[in-house]
Amino acid sequence: MQFEPWIEERVLARQGVLHPYDRLDAATTAFVIVDLQNYYTQPGFQGECAPARAIFGQVNQLAAALRAKGGTVVWIKTSADGADQFWSHHHRHMLTPERSARRLLELGSGHAGFAMPPALDVQPGDLTVVKRCYSALAPGASDLDAVLKARGVRTVLIGGTVTNVCCESTARDAMMLDYATIMVDDALAAVTPYEHVHSLNNWMLFFGDVLTVDEVVTRLG
């Protein structure tokens, strides 16, 4: 991703280099792929982010490259089971009754919306973590932090959808928990290009690095 000069200047002033990670140790790196379920990627579902379908190839490419070098691939899935209770403010005040009901239905763990599209290369050795809200690392949202720590993960690569909501929320919490965190530009998708770029600009300014799939693979050696 090409950043505007003023963003690069501020990043350089803060940390001395634009991209701080010259090499990535695959053994301590996880590719955390957020919410590429049918509900968020396929036509007909309420949460569809149509641009997400265009990143499937890049997601598969990076997952395969990391697996081949001994890294960890984690697929994050959102479940709305019981969300009208544990996330009641969101469902009562931030969604219309119709949208709330549809989210509870289509993101239920027994619904087709919860499943992963067959075009994604989910392998038996990959990990799957189910989360309850935007960030997989928010308190009580999932056991992702424990899963990563058990694998000795210190670097987290973030892909999936949508860039500026669940992906950015999870990435921010990863950074706060002291993981080196990289948003993978072409393995992320938002509803509009503006939202995608705005999110990554802000991420670069304050939170971590932004690289492409090819740039990540190069750093994996």
Which positions are annotated as active-site residues?
35, 131, 166
Q: How many CB atoms lie within 10 A of CB 29?
A: 25
Q: Is 181 helix (H, G, I), strand (E, B) or coil?
A: strand
AA letter at 142 = S
Cβ neighbors of 100 (< 8 A, separation 6 or more) are 84, 91, 92
Q: Judge whether 39 and 92 are in contact, CB under 8 Å.
A: no
Long-range contacts of 20-23 (CB under 8 A, 24+ apart): 20/209, 21/155, 21/180, 21/182, 21/209, 21/219, 22/219, 23/219, 23/221
CA distance 153 to 21: 15
Q: In what order do the strands lie in the sheet with 29-34?
A: 127-131, 72-78, 29-34, 155-161, 180-189, 209-211
Cβ neighbours of residue 195 closer than 8 Å, sequence gap 6 or more = 162, 163, 164
